[in-house]
Every structure is written in structure tokens, then in C-alpha cells.
Amino acid sequence: MKGSQRVSRLRELKKSGEKIASLTAYDASFARLLEKAGIDFVLVGDSLGMVLQGEADTLKVSMEDMIYHTRLVSRGLQQTLLVADMPCNSYTDSVQALNNARRLINEGGAHMVKLEGGSEILDQVKSLCQNGVAVCGHLGLQPQSVHKYGGYKVQGRNEEDAGRILADAIALEHAGVDMIVLECIPRLLAAKISVALSIPTIGIGAGVDCDGQILVMYDVIGLSGYIPKMANDFLQQGGSISTAVSNYITAVKNGTFPTSAQSFD
């Protein structure tokens, strides 16, 4: 299946009402396991800075780090859409964004790249899309801007911020993005954005009404050291890692994950 076909399949899932299940992966072994379980897409997240490298945030992850881990994951996938994060300071202008996105695709094997931000990155997004690069947006809590937010805090709780996030989501769709990750925003806002867009919304701490869900793989199997509010340790239910992944996918597909306990008001 070609990359464009993998991307269009996500739109088909949204249109049909079937939830989209995604997880992060950082190597070939986990990638193979996720594909076998039937995951809809895999994200090589810059979260690797925290869960693999032991950093307090994602800010020190480099392009070389992302290319290396994307290449490893690509070797474990045959049919599944592969999305890779653009790390901090790798898309400060349109030329840099395009050059680095092409590296993730050509050297890493990614089918799509993910960028954090809204109106401030529209020029970069438009340049990528006009040059045939599939793009995933990321709104709400943006880990690469954690110092700006003063920590990992829920975004969009007041009317002004909620309106800005909605406007950014619409602007990103108009600029050409193929889907948007919504992180740590109130579930009612996420539901409103999901209805307003024709492209899929993928939630993490954004409620069950998003078109799909994503989690850090290490949270799903309890390896992160703690379980964030928006996550769940599916390995606690017993069985193997592959069973935990299958249980996560089933829970996303049937709408039993996330619960209100894993969402924000």
C-alpha cells in the first residue's frame, strides 16, 4: 500500500465513524508487534527523548535521533502508515522544514511528518503540502513549547484559548494537513473541533469524541515509571505485551477508552 493510500484510509475511517487507534514506536520489534495487532498508524514521537533517553522533556531530541528511530521503525512495518515527529527547532522556516521533512521521508522512511503549532507555522505547512509532503498537525498542549506554558498543563480551558485552538485547527486543515493531534484539551472542545473538520482528529487527553486516540507505547505497558492521567496501563489486565496492545486497540475502537477519568473538562 502506497503512502497516499495509507493517508486516505484514515479519512475513510473518519467518514465511516470507525475510531482510529495509534501508538508510538521507536524500534523495529515494537513496530512489527503493533502492525500485527492491527494498529492504524504508528508515530515515531519525539517522546523518545523522555522514555528512551531519560530527559525531562523532548527539547533535546535531534533530527539525527528522529531519522535513526524512524528508520528502525520503518524496517518493522510493511503496510502501516508511519508518521514521524519533526523535532524542536527543525522547522523554524519553510526551507528548513522542507529539507528536514524530506530527510525523515527519504532517510527515515516516514510517510507523514508531524509539526506542533497553529497559525505561526502555516507557511511551513503550506510549503510542505505544496511539495507533496503529508502533514499531521498538533494543537493543544505542545511539548516543544512546555517552557512557554510553564509546564505540562491543559490548554483551551478559557473561551479565548478555546477559540484560538479551534481557529488554528481550521486554518491547518485549509493549509493542507491530513490530520491533527489534539493533546490535553477539554473533551467538549475536542468534540467541537472534530465536528468542524473533515480530516481526522487524534486525541491524547482530549476525550472519547476525537476520531482516534494515540498514546505513548511505554505508558500502555507500564514502562514509563508512572501513568499520566490520559493513559492506561493495559498490561495490568494480564497477558502479554501483544495482548495489551490488542486490548488498547479494541478499547479505542469500541469507545471504552478513554474514559472520563482519562479526559479533561
107 is catalytic: no
Residue among 12, 35, 55, 183 flagged as catalytic: 183
The CA distance from 253 to 93, in Å, is 37
Contact 7, 83 (CB under 8 A): no
Backbone angles phi and psi of 147, in degrees to 5: -70, -35
The CA distance from 182 to 176, in Å, is 17
The CA distance from 111 to 22, in Å, is 15
Q: How far apart are the first and last CA of the chain?
A: 39
The CA distance from 250 to 18, in Å, is 11
Residues 6+ apart with CB under 8 A from 89: none
Q: So which residues are the catalytic ones? A: 183
